[in-house]
Amino acid sequence: MLKEETIIADWSADMYELDETETYDVEFMLSCLGTTPKRILEIACGSGRILVPLANAGHTVAGLDMDEAMLRKIPAKAEGLDNITWRIADVIVDDWGTGYDVVVIAGNFLMNIVSKEGPERAQKVLLEKAKPALKPGGMLYIDYNYTFYPEQWYVHPGERVIWEGTDSHGTSGRMLLCDSTYDGATGLIRSTRRYELKTATGEKIRKEMPSVKHFVKLEQIHTWLAEEGFRIKNEYGDYAGNPISEATGRAIICAVLTEA
């Protein structure tokens, strides 16, 4: 079982690298952060897609993630940089540290978090833990998929191929998302992820994993932020800086900590 999980994790890390190549979200984030060097913590830093450009821009950055396969991608990207660190951590359970100017929760992690706490409680815990990690006056930067009509985005009967390809170990195949549903009363999005892989040695892997996510409405995240002493400084609906509306697809929130 452990070998199977490792194969899936390695394949997934490589597929993420091949699929997630956009830079416009990072460029927009950098414009919001300004040019003054800051001490930044990224939650769920993954393979360093965001973390490394922040370091390249002159910020001192630290990243946390529980996916070892993803973290192994960072050293090659961070070669020559002495202002970047990362470590394996369960961001719900483990300590984040203190004294940061900025905490970043981006890359849709707010939606994709997996925890024994349950998705909605885990989302709130992220905001609770951001407060002691920040200096007074520090900023929490949040970026996730957002729509006024989640039932249109997340209800998909049948199968959809999310990733397909061959990784650096020669494992090939695909990951599908099956029978996605959305419950408007609870905000829960339920689906099944199915991996269909074949290793370089011919071993076949078929694994299904139930997925439960929670769609955070804007009003709810506003309430959570206020409860933790954050004041919303800016809010955007896309990487062009437009306000959140029916025509946009993101919730990008810059919230300043007003309470110690």
- The model's pLDDT over 175-229, given as tens digits with 9 standing for 90+, comes to 999 999 999 999 999 999 999 999 999 999 999 999 999 999 999 999 999 999 9
According to CATH, the superfamily of the domain at 2-147+216-257 is Vaccinia Virus protein VP39 (3.40.50.150)
Say what the pLDDT of residue 115 is: 84
Say what the pLDDT of residue 117 is: 82
Surface-to-core class of residue 183, CB atoms within 10 Å of its CB (0-12 exposed, 13-18 middle, 19+ buried): middle
How far is residue 22 from each of residues 72, 107, 141, 230, measured CA to CA in Å?
Answer: 20, 11, 18, 29
- Helix pair angle (218-227, 119-133), 10° resolution: 40
Domain map (residue ranges) of the chain: 2-147+216-257, 150-213
Q: Which CATH class is domain 150-213?
A: mainly beta
Low-confidence residues of the chain: pLDDT under 70: 1-2, 259-260
Say what the pLDDT of residue 2 is: 56
Say what the pLDDT of residue 119 is: 93
Same fold, 2-147+216-257 and 150-213: no
Name the nearest CA neighbour of 189 among 110, 106, 111, 108: 111
Say what the pLDDT of residue 62 is: 98
Say what the pLDDT of residue 259 is: 67
Say what the pLDDT of residue 116 is: 84
